[in-house]
Amino acid sequence: MLDLKRRIDTLQMVELAEGMEIHLRTAGPFLRLIAWFLDLIIEGIALIFLYLIITLISPVMGEAVSEGVYLLSFFLIWWFYPVFFEISPWGATLGKRALGLRVVNEAGGGITMGASMIRNFIRGVEVMLPFLPLIVFFHPRFQRLGDLAAGTLVVYSKPRIDPVIPGPPPLEKVPVNFSLSREEEAAILAFRYRGGGWSEARRVELSNHLEKMTGEIGLKGVSKLMGMAHWLEEQR
């Protein structure tokens, strides 16, 4: 596993039993909060519908029976609405699905019913003590306490393919005549292939950090770095 501090992305490295590493893109607290609000609204609507239906069937089925049906349905919606959807092939409640999120276990696979129960039941206590969910912000994988207890993560369901926006094509190859670590090399290549998406000033700002390596600052530094990236790529 690579050193977390040196990485240029917030991707989570997971090693699978197959002996390879995959990257999971964990979802941040803000999106998850919105998903939760959506779910609350959906649950509310479901309960209102339930109430209407019970009112309609009450004269037919008798008061006691319809009261019982109401209590049972309420119990199921209240406690098991998220569980039902999270263990379905979608792997997400309706709110999460709307935002393109998914609940997975720590290897990126679907979660069990037990895990889903744990993470959803514990949320009830977490929202009662509003400082507890804030732990999400301090956890590298954005896991809240319920996620930790259940061993689950919330990730983006579709692996996002980042658009490649190369910077302006380099005019020259600049040989790199000193050794780079793999992460450094990857960072320089990423600079070339993402550079097109940034403003000129941002490119300059980033390449200025490498003044020691390129020996230049400003625009010259940028083009020299691009040249280095070009050279590194041609090596292969």
- Residues near another protein, by CB under 8 A: 16, 18-24, 61-65, 67-72, 74-75, 78-79, 89, 107-110, 112, 114-115, 117-118, 121-126, 129, 132, 139, 143, 145-146, 148-151, 158-162, 164, 182, 185-186, 189-190, 193, 233, 236
How far apart (Å, rounded) are the C-alpha atoms in residues 100 and 158? 7
Q: Which is nearer to another protein, 185 or 216 (CB)?
A: 185
Q: In this complex, which beta carbon is closest to another protein, that of residue 29 or of residue 217?
A: 29
Nearer to another protein, 52 or 65 (CB): 65
Cα separations in angstroms, 160 against 25, 43, 49, 84, 154: 8, 29, 37, 26, 15
Q: Which is nearer to another protein, 62 or 215 (CB)?
A: 62
Burial 17-46 (b: 16+ CB within 10 A, else e): eeeeeeebebbebebbeebbebbeebbeeb
Residues 6+ apart with CB under 8 A from 198: 206
CB of 220 to another protein, least distance (A): 25
Minimal CA–CA distance to 225: which of 46, 235, 208, 138?
208
Of 216 and 233, the one with the shorter C-beta distance to another protein is: 233
> In the complex with another protein, which residue's Cβ is closer, 12 or 214?
12
CB of 217 to another protein, least distance (A): 27
Question: Which residue type does 87 have?
Answer: I
Amino acid 27 reads: A
Task: State in angstroms the smallest separation of the CB of 163 from another protein.
Answer: 9
φ and ψ of 87, to 5 deg? -95, 0
User: Minimum distance from CB of 76 to another protein (Å)?
Assistant: 9
- Least Å distance, CB 222 to another protein, is 19
Q: Tell me the C-alpha distance between 7 and 20, whole Å.
A: 18
d(Cα 194, Cα 178) in Å, to the nearest integer?
24
Min separation Cβ 142 and another protein, Å: 12
In 3D space, the residue among 107, 117, 108 whose CA is nearest the CA of residue 87 turns out to be 117
